[in-house]
Structure 1
């Protein structure tokens, strides 16, 4: 998919289905943002992530930021989510996504990355002491 080209309705449906499945499996809300970021892209990802939850220490959330034009992929997790999605697991998912992106498969890479991250977090029932969030997962393209 070319930079700046919008996702098709079918692609958005597939992405939203994958987001829902990852959240239902893990109990952690996942969000995907595709588009250019201004300034330090890692700081921008952390700022976006901080707007997704009320209390990052208590509320788990995972954000996947992809900026094709800047050749950037970042998986950001709140401290609460980091207890279940380790940095190595997030790095492996980012590497897998990057491999798909390099072949021109943006949606396929995101779908695989979401599946990996959801599985890394484990089942929601196994997450003793975590509370379920009502944050809606959604894919966006900017």
Structure 2
């Protein structure tokens, strides 16, 4: 498997859990927020055809922890977009598998990171995650083919 692509930015936020699981009880998110995050991830999956995962919690080994979380997706890793947020270190990692990287440019990931960290700095963790997922899903969505030479 090719080395995943990563983007890193500073951010502040509460703690959480495992890749693919938006949040766990006791993590500072309400049940409504957990449901909203799960819905956002499912919508991003449907819109893009990729597999979006969210991990909010410690990244003990930084970048390596995010790469390991992506690799833990197994055969789906190449189609996965992992958003990993470490509140203690104020770090955001966007890690893409090889096929996902073909659809999400470095610029798209940087734009999503900027959208997220802007909200995080205003104290809006869920809003930042929402913004980032939407940017990534929009940029990864398959563009419709338009045929202009029809009769």
Same topology, TM > 0.5: yes
> Retained in 2: the 8 A contact 1:22–1:30?
yes
Distance (Å, rounded) in 1 between the aligned partners of 2:35 and 2:85: 18
* Larger CA Rg, structure 1 vs 2: 2
TM-score by length of 1: 0.80
Asked if the contact 2:14–2:56 (Cα under 8 Å) also holds between the matched residues in 1, the reply is no
Cα distance in 1 for residues equivalent to 2:124 and 2:80: 25
Q: What does residue 50 of structure 1 align with?
A: 71
Question: Deviation at 1:73?
Answer: 0.5
Give the number of aligned pairs: 123
In the alignment, the residues of structure 2 paired with residue 52 and residue 125 of structure 1 have an alpha-carbon distance, to the nearest angstrom, of 29
Q: CA RMSD in A?
A: 1.9
Matches within 5 A, 1:110-129: 110-123=129-142
TM-score of the two chains, using structure 2 as the length reference? 0.75
Q: Structure 1: state its 5+ residue gaps.
A: 127-142
Q: Show CA shifts across 1:23-69 (max 9, x none).
A: 00001010010011112x1111011001113164xx31100001122
The residue that corresponds to 1:3 in the other structure is 14
